[in-house]
Structure 1
Amino acid sequence: MISATSPGELRIEHLVKTFGPVRAVDDLSFTVAPGRVTGFLGPNGAGKTTTLRVLLGLAAPTSGTATVGGRRYADIEHPARVVGAALEATSFHPGRSARDHLRVYAPQIGVPDSRCDEVLETVGLAPVAHRRVGGFSMGMRQRLGLATTLLGDPQVMILDEPANGLDPEGIAWLRGFLRYLAGQGRTVLVSSHVLSEVQQTVDDVVIIAKGRLVHASDMAGLRDLAGSQVMVVSPDAAGLRALVARRWPAAASPVDGRDGAVLLRDVSAAEVGSAAFAAGLELHELSPRDRGLEDVFLQLTAEEVAA
């Protein structure tokens, strides 16, 4: 039975892409839903850009498929009206104004010059529409690149490392803009090699390493992997070991070889404190040490690289 595909859904199915002996993408499968911001994450060299290039018809798959709304990019009649993509820093003629830059692309896409003014307004560049791009900051250039991808009013936005080179103010603006696009029902796929850049923005995450999928879920699912941890330190090392062996034998990790110190996973400080009190065990430290999402991301990708 063939499942229905929504117009803006991105679907990667058993994708393989090799370059000679190098397997850049290795049996990769995932979907990206409309109306959500999806973070496509992995270390540099994980295969993110190669996957996006195959999705956009810039590289042929060795095997498997990559489709937009159930169609290959090459089969879309007016692709710029369906997909807006920015895979690398856009080149700008420094002597052209922002509006004239867009006017070069408008007839190729089949939209009137008035659309150039609309997208400049959308990205906040209307006040500088007639300024030469050569004097633009990195953040303004990024906005102009996004305006270019929006010319055809596409349902799907694919952005490769869009936060590169942005200052904190620019990153904050980008987060709000991506949420705005998803709020319009668009499909937004954003690649990054740094989870912290996108974790406050994305709804879903797809994490790859060495071309293979290592995790796919919503952000709540990724947070669940972080779990909770508590640091326990006691002057009675033998007593602490006995308590841990009795109550939480599978949840303990040593702490840098320190005798009388242990890190417990998925156990609350209140639970440990109550058990220690009942056992008459003196504690010198009992503190939550929740693992950050960046640690989870690094662990997931490191495990795949080491495999």
Structure 2
Amino acid sequence: MNSPAITIDGLTKRFGAVTAVDDLSFTVAPGRVTGFLGPNGSGKTTTLRMLLGLVEPTAGRALIGDRPYLQIRRPAQEVGAALEASSFHPGRTGLGHLTTLAPQVGVSKARCREMLDFVGLTAAADRRVGGYSMGMRQRLGLATALLGDPGVILLDEPANGLDPQGIVWLRGLLRSLAHEGRTVLLSSHVLAEVRSTVDDVVVISNGRLVRASTLTEFEDLAVHAVGVRTPSPASFVALARERHWRIEDAPGGFRIHGVDTATVGSAAFGAGIELHELTDAGADLETVFLQLTGSATPSMGAVR
């Protein structure tokens, strides 16, 4: 599939005295999944709404390919979006919701049933949406976004309300869409979701861009950590202090920042300290995020 890129160019939006988005520029490439990150109130949702023509920019451009969304003749066949999992008529069934949209999108009722099956809602097709769980509404939102088989996919917090199995399913779906050459942009506040799903990241704070890079380049900014379990915790803490390692308590043991497993293992062996577990705990992306955004948020889980 030959999908267009997304271009955000000098995009600005002011609501009275409040600047929600401030001279924001970045691109989203086809064939890749891009994660759009930022603290609460950073301007992510406002940016997506401007991209879809729901909010008029104060300045700048938001383009699908070389056109604004409102200039696309058959938008549902080029751009699929799910911004809110609650924007359904509660009295309609899942199938009824899609078939109501089908004439506008230009698809058949059979396509509606196909999409409900694709997102795992076949058994709930004739149930009223008002009785759907949050996770089921997320799946219906995805079915709606994909109804016209678009090349550009925009999703706002798509994993909210999904159970672990659903999150794994979503991750595979997004990767497969990108593999087909589609352009996928999703906002998220879940660190594990970003790390396991996206190719690129765009981080904003106070409406301004603070980082746009590949995920690998983003991870290179992080300090790596090592996990340790030992039957001699006091001796190990003394060793860590002697070596000036940054150490903190972790479930069942310790986490040491800024060193690798070989360094810790060699030092413990030399000091005669028995280790029951020595693992690479990975990059501390949470700290990188907080440093980039200047956020006081205590956990990446609170990012919006």
CA distance, structure 1, for counterparts of residue 240 and residue 166 of structure 2: 52
| 1:247 aligned partner | none
The structure 1 residue matched to 2:168, chosen from 172, 191, 203, is 172
| 1:219 aligned partner | 215
| 2:142 aligned partner | 146
| 1:293 aligned partner | 285
Matched, 1:12 2:16: no
Encode CA deviations 1:116-144: one digit per residue, 9 max, x unaligned: 12212221223332333333322222111
Q: 1:290 to 1:196 in 2, by over 3 A?
A: closer
The structure 2 residue matched to 1:75, chosen from 71, 76, 88, is 71
Equivalent AA in structure 2 for residue 147 of structure 1: A
CA distance, structure 1, for counterparts of residue 144 and residue 239 of structure 2: 64
| 2:252 aligned partner | none
Q: Is the 8 A contact 1:7 1:68 kept in 2?
A: no
Q: Is the 8 A contact 1:234 1:282 kept in 2?
A: no
| 1:193 aligned partner | 189
CA distance, structure 1, for counterparts of residue 272 and residue 282 of structure 2: 19
Q: 1:136 to 1:270 in 2, by over 3 A?
A: closer
CA distance, structure 1, for counterparts of residue 204 and residue 90 of structure 2: 37
Q: CA deviation at 1:285?
A: 11
Q: 1:182 to 1:295 in 2, by over 3 A?
A: same
Equivalent AA in structure 1 for residue 16 of structure 2: G
The structure 2 residue matched to 1:33, chosen from 15, 29, 36, is 29
- Output the aligned Cα RMSD: 3.2
Q: CA deviation at 1:151?
A: 1.5
Unaligned runs of 5+ in 2: 228-235, 249-255, 298-304
CA distance, structure 2, for counterparts of residue 182 and residue 230 of structure 1: 33
Encode CA deviations 1:3-50: one digit per residue, 9 max, x unaligned: xxx742001112111112211111211111112111101111011011
The TM-score, its normalising length taken from structure 1, stands at 0.78
Unaligned runs of 5+ in 1: 1-5, 245-251, 257-262
Q: CA deviation at 1:304?
A: 10
CA distance, structure 1, for counterparts of residue 165 and residue 281 of structure 2: 30
Equivalent AA in structure 1 for residue 154 of structure 2: I
CA distance, structure 1, for counterparts of residue 100 and residue 131 of structure 2: 19
Encode CA deviations 1:133-186: one digit per residue, 9 max, x unaligned: 333322222111111111211111101111222332332222222222222221
CA distance, structure 2, for counterparts of residue 181 and residue 302 of structure 1: 33
CA distance, structure 1, for counterparts of residue 62 and residue 37 of structure 2: 17
The structure 1 residue matched to 2:206, chosen from 168, 193, 210, is 210
Q: Is the 8 A contact 2:157 2:187 kept in 1?
A: yes
Greater mean deviation of Cα atoms: 215-224 or 122-131? 122-131
| 1:100 aligned partner | 96
Encode CA deviations 1:222-281: one digit per residue, 9 max, x unaligned: 2111133579965798xx5xxx8xxxxxxx78779xxxxxx774x54645888999xxx9
Structure with higher Rg: it is 1
Identity fraction in percent:
60
CA distance, structure 2, for counterparts of residue 28 and residue 236 of structure 1: 43
CA distance, structure 2, for counterparts of residue 36 and residue 235 of structure 1: 44
| 2:84 aligned partner | 88
Encode CA deviations 1:53-109: one digit per residue, 9 max, x unaligned: 111111111211110011111111111111111111243334432212111001122
Q: Is the 8 A contact 2:5 2:27 kept in 1?
A: yes
Encode CA deviations 1:173-215: one digit per residue, 9 max, x unaligned: 2222222222222111110233233321111111111111111
Equivalent AA in structure 1 for residue 289 of structure 2: F
Q: Give the secondary structure class of the aligned counterpart of 2:294.
A: helix
Q: Is the 8 A contact 1:80 1:154 kept in 2?
A: yes
